[in-house]
Amino acid sequence: MVSSHLGVAPADVLSTGGAERLDIGVGTMGWISGAFFTVLAWLMKRPPQWGTVIGAFAVGFFVNVALDVVPEPELLAARIPMLVFGLALIYLAISIGVATTLGTGPMELLMLALSDRGMSVQAARWGLEAFVFVIGVSLGGELGVGTVLFVLLTGPVLARTLPPFVKFMGTTVLTAPTGLDA
């Protein structure tokens, strides 16, 4: 999504803006924001698991590496599939990561902590996306149609993908309604 230059996920709006302001890598800024979300979730009694910590470091590292090697095409016809593939890949990774219970990503951990307190997955995700979006924009993060799509689609997509993934894996991570019944 970053290389498509059509807009990034709100967490990446935060990461691109923070990286620019602090003169660090986008992945490095992802580590900083990930640590912040993990601590918040932990304070809300949703502690990280080993996969949360390893995943956060791995994602930050691979984002830094990928941005150096993934091409940045100029043609819109090449950039649109990159955006769509990026969205699908993120949703798949979130759904699998949450359902395995080996350790979700930092924002997903905070989403689940909010869900534990009775908020629907959809509402929790929209709230988190809005929060990081506003901060990211204030820092000058990269915006575009992909950002809007991510904000609008992530809550509903996760509300629909998490329950079947959780059921398939035989785990229990959702304690509140997904938002489909709200």
What percentage of the chain exceeds 90 in pLDDT? Answer: 33
| pLDDT tens-digit map of 40-87 | 999 999 998 888 888 777 877 887 788 788 888 889 999 999 999 989
- CA-to-CA distance for 144 and 53, rounded, in angstroms? 29
CB 80 within 8 A of CB 12: no
pLDDT at 181 over 50: no
Question: String of b and e for 97-112 (b: at least 16 CB within 10 Å)?
Answer: bbbbebbbbbbbbbbb
pLDDT at 171 over 90: no
Confidence of residue 173 (pLDDT cuts 50, 70, 90): low
| pLDDT tens-digit map of 17-32 | 999 999 998 888 988 9
pTM of the entire structure?
0.73
Give residue 83's pLDDT.
Answer: 93
